[in-house]
Amino acid sequence: MITQEDLPLLQKMSHTLGFLCADMVQKANSGHPGAPMGLADIASVLSFHLNLAPTNVDWLNRDRLIFSGGHASALVYALLHLWGFDVSMEDLQHFRQLGSKTPGHPEYGHTQGVEITTGPLGQGVANAVGMAMAGKYAQNLFGREIISHNVYCLCGDGDLQEGISYEAASIAGHHQLSNLILIYDSNHITIEGQTNIAMSENVAKRFEAQGFEVISCDGHNVLEIDSALSRAKDAIKPVLIIAHTTIAKHALSLEGSHKAHGTPLGEEIIKQAKQKLGLPPESFYVPSEVAFAFGLLKERGELSFKQWHKQYENLPQIAKERLDSMRNPSFEHITYPTFEVGESMATRVSNGKILNAISQALEGFLGGSADLAPSNNTHIHDERDFPFGKNWHFGIREHAMAAICNGVANYGLFLPFCATFFVFSDYMSPSVRLSSLMRACVYYIWTHDSIGVGEDGATHQPIEQLSHFRAMPNLLVFRPADANENVACWEVALDSKLPCAFVLSRQNLPILMPYTPTLKNQVQRGAYILKDTKDALITLMASGSEVSLALKACEKLIESNIKARVVSVPCLDLLLQQPRSYVQDLCKGSAVLAIEASRGLEWYAVADRVIGMDSFGASGQGEGLFAHFGFNVEHIVQVAHELIKQS
């Protein structure tokens, strides 16, 4: 507990920290000085509450600290440096420069100590809820002796205006996540000015209604901050600390101004402000007593780690093996289901069987749906619900669901999946983008993949979504043609160590091929010849439900003495990564016609012509819609003849 005697040191710590951030922004001539300076008092006190071990950065029982306002990254890096992480003073001096460890927004895997990549506002709040959910579930698996940490999240007015924070807080309150502490930097400032130009709600009552304990404090009174943090750690429900702060604290004429949000303060203001506070004028100055005080976090953390490690060593061997298998999962012992050629099954149904097979082999494989588990086929059999089992009910909250899963993935024990209808993936896109940026292993299950949805109409029929997600780097999008190809797609996905999406049919599809060990190798290259004809004049390429249609069209072409082949493309992303020679080997110099019930413009990278969607869908039976929009044998054959004549 902080006492009156500690106040001079705490004041010097916060002043040093705030102007270290101001110096970083000034040298870069770019960045956000206001929030870091306003948060400097809170961050200084927080240093005495956090349980981190900079020399054991992957310690399972460490506290997690997330900066939802990623624009305040100067504060992140300054703290990591002062706490003893691998962030040097030189790194701070290269803030926002190409190739530095200190980019404009914190990036997971790029800078040691950064728990997750937060860019769009509100994401970090949902990420923190995900980490708190992961921690709560892990605690139920292994006990409080092994899992007892807290998840802290620093957020601001912008984060709480974003709808994702409301969704995430609703889940946190519902599950009474007592390991979650949100610290709200309430400075009443956004880029355009005072928050009251667009926001007038009572935030405290909002969070109380969602099941939070709400604590208010003066964000510049270190004794009040210390008391609030101590109360929060003892709470039996999630906590929102409303810290009333002033943006750009101590920045003279810019103190309290929205102009300090995203613009350097200017050398003269920094110089005068330092002089007023009794700080030396030089940039990047850290007094030895301040460095020592911040450095105590490292010493306390290492001691806590050693104490925890003793408890870990006393675990039964079977418990240690479980933990190790979850942290380093092996996919060799998964017994996948088998599917008979000639049967008919929607890929959403086969996928449900595959999910259960993976879950049986991998204790850390878990997830759920946005209130659509019966339709998405994502229920894990013989499992309880969160927080005691693998079935996680996200409610109708797609945006938060995806961001929560990013937090779960980065927690370090689990492989999460989440599901909804493909058309609603639009709500998830910002979080999927961050998964891809981080290479976080989240598995997205998107069913009802095309106009085959049928009667629900254009609002529920995804058209442009495939193109959008295929354009996203580091994301593998699988659209399997049948149940056995679906198995191979999962084998490739798990090995990839990347976020992956499975785009699956509502309607039944014929099982076209038996599963063989070579199928995985074929899927690894994104595409393979499913039906070959020597000296074919045309190659029909397709994914998902259109593969069986391409096979029927191929037969019709052959009946009319037109030699044709069919190439199944379960993952166009992987195909486009192959050497051009591989595509040439698949097509053998023939004309190429791609068939897919989506916008499909990306197919022109490998195809001469595309039969795709040029409009939104319509309401009607799925088979009728396919014929209406040209996805039938007759139209494919007609276009194939035209393409051959042009070649």
Active site residues: 398
Q: How far apart are the first and last CA of the chain?
A: 80
Distances in whole angstroms, Cα of residue 324 to Cα of each of 85, 132, 147, 278, 363: 25, 21, 15, 52, 11
Q: Is 187 annotated as a binding residue?
A: yes
Q: Is 456 annotated as a binding residue?
A: yes
Q: Is 158 annotated as a binding residue?
A: yes
If you write DSSP's letter for every residue of 145-156 in order, what string do you get? TT----EEEEEE
Q: Cβ distance 442 to 402 under 8 Å? A: yes
Give dist(CA 454, CA 461) in Å, integer: 8
User: Token pair for residue 216?
Assistant: 């208010």
Name every residue whose Cβ is closer than 8 Å to that of residue 103 and which is 6 or more positions away in sequence. Answer: 73, 96, 110, 111
Q: Is 227 annotated as a binding residue?
A: no
Q: Is 32 annotated as a binding residue?
A: yes
User: Token pair for residue 541?
Assistant: 């390429």
Give dist(CA 475, CA 472) in Å, integer: 6
Give dist(CA 42, CA 127) in Å, integer: 21
Q: Is 399 annotated as a binding residue?
A: no
Neighbours of 44 (CB within 10 A): 27
State which amino acid sits at residue 82: L
- Full strand arrangement of the beta sheet holding 239-244: 64-67, 151-156, 180-186, 239-244, 213-218
State which amino acid sits at residue 450: S
Q: Is 71 annotated as a binding residue?
A: yes
Q: Is 49 annotated as a binding residue?
A: no
Q: Cβ distance 538 to 591 under 8 Å? A: yes
Segment holding 392, helix H or strand E: none
Of 43, 125, 126, the residue nearest 77 (C-alpha) = 43
User: Token pair for residue 524?
Assistant: 């690894």
Sign (positive or negative) of CA dihedral 230, 233, 236, 241 = positive
Q: Is 393 annotated as a binding residue?
A: no
Name every residue whose Cβ is closer than 8 Å to that of residue 515 and which is 6 or more positions away in sequence. Answer: 336, 338, 339, 484, 487, 488
Give dist(CA 10, CA 396) in Å, integer: 44
If you write DSSP's letter for every residue of 85-147 in order, what string do you get? SS--HHHHHTTT-TT-S--SS--TTTSTT--S---STTHHHHHHHHHHHHHHHHHHHH-TTT-
Q: Is 171 annotated as a binding residue?
A: no
Q: Is 121 annotated as a binding residue?
A: yes
Q: Is 19 annotated as a binding residue?
A: no
Of 613, 614, 609, 607, the residue nearest 638 (C-alpha) = 609
What 8-state DSSP symbol labels residue 191? Answer: T
Q: Cβ distance 450 to 616 under 8 Å? A: no
Give dist(CA 301, CA 55) in Å, integer: 9
- Annotated binding residues, written as ranges, equal 32, 71, 119-121, 157-158, 187, 189, 261, 348, 375, 424, 448, 456, 460, 506
- Extract the annotated binding site for substrate: 32, 261, 348, 375, 448, 456, 460, 506
Q: Name the binding residues for thiamine diphosphate.
A: 71, 119-121, 158, 187, 261, 424
Annotated binding site for Mg(2+): 157, 187, 189
